[in-house]
Amino acid sequence: MKKEELLTYQIQYIARVLRRHTDKDTLTYGITAEQGRTILYLHMHKNEVVHLTDLQQTFKLRKSSITSLINNLEKNGFVTRCVEDLDQRQKRLELTELGEEKVQLILKTFKEEEDTVINSLTEDEEIELKYLLNKIMKSIENF
């Protein structure tokens, strides 16, 4: 079997190409794609309390990777850490005004990327692909 026929190879290839493309676009906004996904997550959950552990679980990254990511976002003025009233050791993450501005640019970039991918599929194929990808995601959730 050729490596191009392996499903995991195909998924990794698509992820690499999309990440490279997204990084190229988001870097013009002064952020990486990973930082963009993170502030987009914070934007989508702005009415909830979000901690580092939430991001770690959501993005399936190590604690050190999430800490480094948030440190960079904080250093660039996109995110702040706020001390929790009930537990001084806990810090919730919040977007700054600058972070919210970047979200709008990121949404535009991600939408364009999604449109490019989806335009190559019929509506039925898109529905089937989303169904299958969700099924795979659920099956590997506990890797």
Per the structure, the complete domain to which residue 64 belongs is given by 3-139
Per-residue pLDDT of the chain (143 residues; tens, 9 = 90+): 777 678 889 999 998 998 888 888 888 888 888 899 899 999 999 999 898 889 998 988 999 999 999 999 999 999 999 887 766 667 889 999 999 999 998 898 888 888 988 999 999 999 999 999 999 999 988 77
Residue/partner pairs of 124-128 with CB below 8 Å, 24 or more apart: none
Candidates 28, 20, 51, 25; CA nearest to 38 is 51
Q: What pLDDT shows up at residue 27?
A: 87
Q: What pLDDT shows up at residue 103?
A: 93
Q: Are 117 and 101 in contact (CB under 8 A)?
A: no
Q: What pLDDT shows up at residue 21?
A: 86
Q: What pLDDT shows up at residue 117?
A: 87
Domain count, the chain: 1
Measured CA to CA, the distance from residue 69 to residue 111 in angstroms comes to 23
- CB-based contacts of 126: which residues, under 8 Å, 6+ apart? 118
CATH code for position 131 = 1.10.10.10
Measured CA to CA, the distance from residue 4 to residue 40 in angstroms comes to 32
